[in-house]
Chain A
Amino acid sequence: MLQLIGIEFRKLFRLNSLRFSLLLLALFPALWAYSPGVFNVYGYFVVSAFQVPALALNSSMQFLLPLLVGIASAELLGLEISFGTLPTVLLRPVTRSQWLLAKLLVAAVYPFLILAFFFAVSLLTGFPLGYGEFIGGTGVGVGGLLGEGSMTSNAALTELARAYFIAACSLVPISMLSILFTVLFMNAASGALATLSLLIFMGLLVVFPAVQPYLLTSQLNAYITPVAGTGWTLALIALYCAIFAAVAVVIFERKDF
C-alpha cells in the first residue's frame, strides 16, 4: 500500500492541473492585495502583511479553491483513463480498492499541499506591508483580521495557520466527491464539472435553513467559525469524506474496464 501511495504521489506532481493551480495561486495574492478596488469590495484597506493571506483565503474559498481541488482530483484518476493505463495497473496484483484508496489518500492530501503553498506565497506577497503588530483580532472572515485591539505577529500567524488548516480540511470532501464522479463517469472533465455543479446546487439550498448547516458548501466557511465550533464541523467533514470515498470504492470495485 505504501508503494502504491508513493507511486500516486509522484503522479500528483506530474499533473497539469497542479501546475496550473500553483500558477494561479502564486499570482492571486499579489493581484488581490494590491488591487485598487479592495476597499470597495471588502470594506477595509490592507495594512498588514498578515491580512494578505486572510484576504486571499476569504476571496478564493467560495469558488476558486474548490474548483482547483475538484479539477486536480478528477485529473488524478482521469490521467489513467486518458493514457489508457487504468487496465494495465489493475492487471497487476493489487486490489481495485487498494489502488483507489491510494488515489483517494493522495487527493485528500492535495488541499493541504496547495493551501500550504498559497499561505506561504500570500504571506511573502505581504512583505512590503511589514510583519509587525497591528490593530486586529477579529479573525480571517469579513473583517480581514482588522479591528478590536493590538494583535501580535504570533497571534496573527497562529490564527492564519488555523484558518488555512481548517480550510484545507473542508476542501477534502470536494476531492473525494470529484474522484467519486470521475469513477462514475470515467472522464476527468465530467467528474470535475459534476462536482462543480453539485457544489453550485448545494449553494442554492441555503433557502432551506434547516438543511443549510449540514451542506457541504456550508463547511467551506468553517475556517471563520470560532474554535469552539470546529469539532462539530470537522466531524461533519470527516463524515462527508468517508461517505464519498466509500461510494467511490464500491462503484470502482464493480466497474468493467
Chain B
Amino acid sequence: MVEAVATIEAQNLTKRYGNHSVIKDMTFTVNEGEVYALVGPNGAGKTTMIKLVSGLAFPSSGQVRLLGVDPFEKPSVRRDLGAVVEAPAAFYPYMTGRQNLKLHARLAGNVSDSRIHEVLDMMELGYAGNRKVGVYSLGMRQRLGVAAAMLTRPKILILDEPASGMDPLSLHLVHSVLRNAALEGTAVMLSTHHLDEVVAYCSRVAIIEEGELIDEVNLLDRRDRYRLRTSDVSGSRQLLELQPFISHVSTRGEEIVFILKDNGALGQVSSLLGSSGISLYELTRDTFNLRAYYRDRLQEQRVERNADEDVSERSPKFLLEEDA
C-alpha cells in the first residue's frame, strides 16, 4: 500500500539568529484539503514559520517538504505553490493589477489570460484590473495578493495574514475563497489574528508562542459537538454514555457536552431523554470558543515558563543554602 504523502511537512524545524531561537523544533503536517492556521501573539514566530515553509528562509535545522520534495532542491515544486508572504502583498506599483498578474503568470509559466481574468473576478477586482497598483487600497492589494497566489490553481497555499487591513466584506471574501480552495483539495496554511473567522472553516489551529508550538487544536473534532442542559445532569450523562450513536460525553458544570457519530441521530437524543423522564431545557451546538481557548493556553504557557524561570534562578541559591 502506498503511504499518503503530506502536502506540507515540517520536521523539527528550528531557526536561530545568533543565539536566539525564533522557531524551536516545530513539527507538523498539512494534508490535502486541510486548512491549517498558525495563531499566536505578535513576534511568536508565525511569519518566520511561513517563510521557512515557503522556502524564503533557510532552517537552522530540520526539514521542509512540499508534496514530498525539498523545495530548495527542486524549485519547480513551487509551480504548485501559491503564497502571500508580505502584508500588504507586494506588487510593482507602476504596473496595473492585470500587468502584475501577467508578470506572475510569465514567471510561473502555463497560465492563460483567461485565468488572470478569472482570478481578478474571483477577488472582485475585475473593475480595478487596469488601474495601477500604486493607487490600490490596502485591502485591494491584499486581495490582489490572493489572486496572484491562486493563479496557478496551486495544490498548496501559504498566506501570512491574508486578511490584514481588510474591511468585513473583503475579509469574508478571502475566507470563502480559501475555504473553497480547501474543498477542492488545496492544502492551505495561513497565519492570522482573525480567530473567530478561521474557526468556522479551519481544520486545525496551531498555537505558537516564543517560537514553540504549544498546542494544536483539531477543530473538526470540535465542530460536531453539542451541549445540553437537563433536569438531571448525572442521569442524562449515564444515559448518553450507553448510546452507540454517541462517541463522547463529558460534563461541563451544569451542562453535558457530547459528540455524535452521526449528526442525523440528534433527534434521538431529545426523545431518549423524554422517554426516561428527564426534562430537556436546552440542546444546542457547542460552538468552540477558540479565542477563549487561545487566551487560556497562552496564560498557562506563560505561568509555566515563569515558574521554570523562577526555579532556574533560585536553584543555585537553594543549593548553596543546602550545602551550608
Contacts and interface: CB of A to CB of B under 8 A. Distances in A.
A and B together in one complex: yes
B90 A91 contact: no
A91 B81 contact: yes
A88 B54 CA distance: 11
A5 to B, nearest CB: 12
Contact of A93 (B56, B91, B109): B109
A90 interface: yes
A35 interface: no
A87 interface: yes
A91 B52 CA distance: 12
B186 to A, nearest CB: 16
A148 interface: no
Interface stretch (B5-13, B100-108, B192-200): B100-108
B86 interface: yes
A84 interface: yes
B174 interface: no
A92 B90 contact: no
Contact of A7 (B54, B76, B103): B103
Interface in A214-257: 254, 256-257
A: interface residue count bin: 20 to 34
A90 B90 CA distance: 12
A91 B78 contact: yes
B86 A93 contact: no
Contact of B58 (A3, A7, A254): A254
B293 interface: no
B92 A92 contact: no
Contacts of A92: 78, 104, 107-108
Contact of B92 (A85, A87, A94, A257): A85
Interface in A1-39: 3-4, 7, 11, 14
Interface string B104-117: 10111100000000
B109 A91 contact: no
Most chain A beta-carbon neighbours within 10 Å: one of B75, B89, B94: B75
A257 B90 contact: no
A89 B81 CA distance: 12
Nearest to A91: B83
A87 B86 contact: yes
B91 A90 contact: no
Contact of B148 (A4, A7, A88): A88
A94 B107 contact: yes
A83 interface: yes
A95 B79 CA distance: 12
B43 interface: no
Nearest to A4: B107
Contacts of B148: 88
A3 B92 CA distance: 17
A14 B132 CA distance: 14
Contacts of B41: none
Interface in A85-108: 85, 87-95
B57 interface: yes
B165 interface: no
B55 interface: yes
A93 B81 CA distance: 9
Nearest to A6: B106
* In the complex, the 5 A-B pairs of residues with the closest C-beta atoms, listed nearest first: A84-B90, A92-B107, A256-B57, A93-B78, A257-B56
